[in-house]
Structure 1
């Protein structure tokens, strides 16, 4: 196995939990490792620091893959088993959850979402791209997967300098439309063309909180996707729901999911872009849901947020979710405060809402906590 030698400072950071390092942290390398070929990471004195992936074209050139005493053989199945054991303890229904979350599960650059016997995979490094066959084989061996679908068609790969790939089958016969259960709600999702990997499992804590404040509420959901948030509002007593999504297929699924959960007559779903909706409406609502997965800049986020504040009645609630990128790390709270000040609204933060337990992240890993969300009471 080839070795890559790291500077003293980089070695110290790696020992203290850093999941990745930059190219300038590398002192020297033995040969040129191929994508998917793990290397031994060593300090300048030659002491082994663990296993890693090295890609000199990536901004995170070194990604930690294993501990100093860890063997290369069976690494992916071993980490998969540990990830599954973790979900069995932490998730209400581990049949429907994220089962591998990047560095948080010791497999940097790998995302795996589970829909019962069907698995959707996303690879976010050249090393994991090269391991797609190995990953598929391990999923089948460890989990008995009925199918494995690759979704490397998301904007996140482009942001990382990786080529986009059309969704395609790695194993079995995955359905395009799949049903899932979550916290008492039933959803049909599009695994092949739906947003991300089909369903935003990362919003589970938002959905849980929506259920707590929805009794008797008139609800506006400006970017509903397949209805994950507003369906839970309806199941917990919302009296009227108005929802929109700019993607016609997502709006159709949201309408179907509303009906499947007994919301016929209480929920109206239409096709429209968030800003178009927020600008056009003049009514105010008890609960406004603002998810912003498609915003391209902080300026666009701020515009949507200011309009959402205008649509929230005095004493009403606003739940807003933002993402890094495009939002700067650590800048979410300031943006929310600036929007409230600009609209002359006083907002009380009821709680922060982040990633659920099936999205573990390494402490001290910048960017891994990519979702920021807050529930506000607005007056």
Structure 2
């Protein structure tokens, strides 16, 4: 195994729990590792600091793979097994969850979402790209997968300098459409072409809180995707729901999911873009659900929030989700405040949300917290 020697400051960062380092933190290397070949990380005196992936083309050139006492042999199945045990303890139904969340599960650059016996994989480093065969084997042998699908078609790969890939099968025969259960609701999702891996498990805490907001409410969901938010609003007593999505396949699935949960008499789903809905609506609503995943800039985010505030009645609630990027770290609440100021509305934060327990993160890596969300009361 090759050795990578790190500066005194970088070695101290690793000892204090850092999970990634930059190229300038490297003093020297025995050679150039091939993608997927772990290296031994050492300090200037040669003391072992742990295992790592090294990619000199990446902005994070060193990614921690293991602790000093860990062996490279069997690393992938070992971490997958630990991830399974962790979800079994933390979740009501671990059949439907994020099984592997990047550094939070000790496998930097790897995302695995579970849909019962079907698993969807995303890789976000060259090292994990090179390990796909080993990753697939571990998911099949340790997690009992009947199928494994690769979804490396996300914009995030391009942001990281990695080539996007068409969805393709790694094992078995994955269904395009798959059913899942979450918090008492039933959904059909598109594993092959749906957003991300088909479903936003990361919004679970928002869905849970809808039980407190939805009773008797008239609801607007201008960017509903497959209905993950509005379905829970309906199940918790919303009296009327207007939902829209610009993607015809997503709108069709949202309509199907409304029917599957007994909501057709209270829900209308139509195809339209988020901004077209927010600009064209004349009514105000008791509850507005705004997922800003598609926004491209701070100003775009402010425009979406400002228009959503306009559609929220006096004393109504706005449930809002923002993502980093495109939002800068720590900018979410400031941009929401600016939106309220521009619209001349006073808002009170009722609750703030981050990622759910199946999205574990290292405690000293604020950059990994990509979701910010809050519930507002608007006056």
Relative to the length of structure 2, the TM-score reads 0.99
What CA distance in whole angstroms lies between the structure 2 residues aligned with 1:345 and 1:214?
21
What CA distance in whole angstroms lies between the structure 2 residues aligned with 1:25 and 1:62?
9
Alignment match, 2:169: 169
Alignment match, 1:74: 74
Aligned-residue offset at 1:299: 1.0
Alignment match, 1:25: 25
Aligned-residue offset at 1:210: 1.2
Alignment match, 1:355: 355
Alignment match, 1:189: 189
What CA distance in whole angstroms lies between the structure 2 residues aligned with 1:360 and 1:185?
24
Alignment match, 2:337: 337
Alignment match, 2:257: 257
Relative to the length of structure 1, the TM-score reads 0.99
Gaps spanning 5+ residues in structure 2: where?
none
What CA distance in whole angstroms lies between the structure 1 residues aligned with 2:159 and 2:221?
28
CA RMSD of aligned residues (A): 0.5
What CA distance in whole angstroms lies between the structure 1 residues aligned with 2:160 and 2:250?
26
Alignment match, 1:134: 134
Aligned-residue offset at 1:205: 0.2
What CA distance in whole angstroms lies between the structure 2 residues aligned with 1:173 and 1:120?
12
SS in structure 2 at match of 1:12: helix
**Does the alignment pair 1:312 with 2:312?**
yes
Alignment match, 2:212: 212
Residues 76-107 of structure 1: CA deviation (Å, up to 9, x unaligned): 00001100000001011000000000000000
Aligned-residue offset at 1:108: 0.3
> Which region of structure 1 is more displaced relative to structure 2, 357-366 or 158-167?
357-366
**Does the alignment pair 1:124 with 2:124?**
yes
Aligned-residue offset at 1:366: 3.5
Aligned-residue offset at 1:363: 1.1
What CA distance in whole angstroms lies between the structure 2 residues aligned with 1:12 and 1:153?
37
What CA distance in whole angstroms lies between the structure 2 residues aligned with 1:329 and 1:353?
15
- Moved beyond 4 Å, runs of 4+: none
Q: How many residues align?
A: 379
Residues 5-40 of structure 1: CA deviation (Å, up to 9, x unaligned): 110001101111111000010010110000000000
SS in structure 2 at match of 1:64: strand
What CA distance in whole angstroms lies between the structure 1 residues aligned with 2:91 and 2:280?
40
> Which region of structure 1 is more displaced relative to structure 2, 363-372 or 62-71?
363-372
Residues 85-142 of structure 1: CA deviation (Å, up to 9, x unaligned): 0000101100000000000000000000000000000000000000000000001110
Matches within 5 A, 1:264-283: 264-283=264-283
SS in structure 2 at match of 1:228: coil
Alignment match, 1:95: 95
Residues 30-84 of structure 1: CA deviation (Å, up to 9, x unaligned): 1000000000000111100000000000000000000000001100000011000
Residues 201-230 of structure 1: CA deviation (Å, up to 9, x unaligned): 000000001122100000000110000000
Gaps spanning 5+ residues in structure 1: where?
none
Alignment match, 1:50: 50
Aligned-residue offset at 1:365: 1.1
